Amino acid sequence: MSLFEGEIVTPDAMVIINFANLRLLTSFINWASGEIAITVPVLREARYFLEGPIDLSGYIKKEMIIKEPISTAKEIELFRKYLEEGISGTQIHEGEASCLAVAIVNNYGLASDEKVVREEFVRVMPNNLCLTSRMIIERAGNKGYLNNQKVCQYVKGLFYL
Query: Positive or negative, the Cα torsion across 117, 92, 86, 34?
Result: negative
For the stretch 93-97, contacts whose Cβ atoms lie closer than 8 Å and that sit 24 or more positions apart, written own/partner, are 93/13, 93/41, 93/45, 94/41, 94/44, 94/45, 95/12, 95/13, 95/39, 95/41, 95/42, 95/44, 95/45, 95/46, 96/12, 97/41
- What is the structure's pLDDT at 1? 73
pLDDT of residue 12: 98
User: Domain for residue 44, yes or no?
Assistant: yes
pLDDT, averaged per 10 consecutive residues of the chain (161 residues), comes to 94 98 97 98 96 97 97 98 96 97 98 98 98 98 97 90 55
**Based on the structure, what is the number of domains in the chain?**
1
CATH of the domain at 72: 3.40.50.1010
Whether residue 27 lies inside any domain: the answer is: yes
Q: Whole-prediction pTM value?
A: 0.95
Looking at residue 161, its pLDDT comes to 55
Residue 3 lies in a domain: no
Whether residue 2 lies inside any domain: the answer is no
- The residue range of the domain holding 37 is 9-159
Q: What share of the chain is helix, strand, coil (3-state, %, to 5)?
A: 55, 15, 35
In a domain, 4, yes or no: no
> Residue 62, class by beta-carbon neighbours within 10 Å (0-12 exposed, 13-18 middle, 19+ buried)?
exposed
**22 belongs to a structural domain:** yes
79 located within any domain: yes
Domain for residue 1, yes or no?
no
